[in-house]
Amino acid sequence: MTDPQWQRLLQVLDGQAVTPAPIGFLVDGPWICGVNQIRLMDYLVDTELWLRANLESVARFPDVLWLPGFWAEFGMISNPPSFGAKCIWPEDGFPTCDGVLRDCADIADLRRPNVRTDGLLPLIMQRLRQCHPAIEAAGHQIRFACAHGPITIAAYLLGHNEFFLACRTDPDGINRLLDMTTRFVIDWLAYQKESFPSIDGILVLEDLMGFVGEQDFAALVLDRMRQIFNSFPVSVRFLHNDAFGLITARHLTTMNVNLFNFSFEHEYQEVRRLAGPDVTLMGNIPPRDILGLGSEQDICQSVAALLDSVPDHRRMIVSAGGFTPGGFGEGKIAAFQQTVCRSTRT
């Protein structure tokens, strides 16, 4: 992200009126591979290809905020392998991992990783270090430290069904596990920020918080997420949760979140009412059915309907209600931008 783009984002978070309304998308490997017509496996393992694809993407669409920008990640195997989880690399599609815990009894033997040496984290950091000069030469900076959230990581370590069952059958074990994954997230974000002084934002991807009810949210989620977001004096505290997010929306201010990307299944105005006026909301056009599979006309209609439904466009980033799909290419992005300009320019 360039300095002008970063300042534009900060203006939006500050509640300033920005016209036309800002456009931003949360993008990862599948989208970048789609617009550059490259294989995901090649993108993940080839540093030169990763750099070239990212540079070409941001240069092609300079008026769009691509978040987090120059994201060196391996999907869901970015974090759990640091705890010993087995990586699984399919020929096509994102890699995934097997759980490392057979049951809750194994939690007592789990050790907190060293984020400087364990799993794939050193490869992520080395990629950023190698590419940093070229990123700066192109006028950009590394702005975000990124991590999956503690509930998501814990569920991958134990198994998703086993994790949610253990929330009832072994709450002490689950609390020990979540304490460890929370500390890991803070350590990992801190190491990234320490390594790149240009970082002034954190991104936490925590979909699994959307699978618990109000009682478990209060007991398991709230204090841990608040601890993470309060650990860093940064300007942008960005939470992605495109699973069920209405409970999350009610607690964003308590968690010290100031930018929230949420599910397209929630009405924008409902999330605004729950979140309050001080959180910037990023959404919420359907990613797959409209941006990925829809026509340019479908996109124009959906974007116009969203903006017409929102009387105050301050603290709003027009975006997908979740990750940006691979089928959202140049023509569709142009249609998206034109509609936003027509609907919000004064």
Q: What is the tens place of the pLDDT at every residue in 38-54?
A: 999 999 999 999 999 99
Whole-angstrom distance, CA of residue 207 vs CA of residue 280? 18
Q: Give the sign of the dihedral formed by CA 271, CA 264, CA 260, CA 164.
A: positive
- Structural domains of the chain, ranges and CATH numbers in brackets: 3-344 (3.20.20.210)
Mean pLDDT of the chain: 95
Whole-angstrom distance, CA of residue 328 vs CA of residue 14? 29
Q: Give 326's pLDDT tier (boundaries 50, 70, 90).
A: confident
pTM (2 d.p.)? 0.96
Check residue 92 and give its pLDDT: 81
Check residue 344 and give its pLDDT: 86
Q: Is 62 helix (H, G, I), strand (E, B) or coil?
A: coil
Residue 23 DSSP symbol: B
Contact 150, 181 (CB under 8 A): yes
Whole-angstrom distance, CA of residue 278 vs CA of residue 276? 6
Residue 101 DSSP symbol: -
Does residue 346 have a pLDDT over 80? Answer: no
Q: What is the pLDDT of residues 64-91, one digit of tens each?
A: 999 999 999 999 999 999 999 999 998 8
Q: What is the pLDDT of residues 209-225, one digit of tens each?
A: 989 999 999 999 999 99
Residue 324 DSSP symbol: P
Does residue 137 have a pLDDT over 70? Answer: yes
The mean pLDDT value for 116-142 works out to 97
Check residue 262 and give its pLDDT: 96
Q: Is 93 left (phi over 0), alpha (psi -120 to 50) or beta?
A: left
Q: Is 318 helix (H, G, I), strand (E, B) or coil?
A: strand
Does residue 117 have a pLDDT over 80? Answer: yes
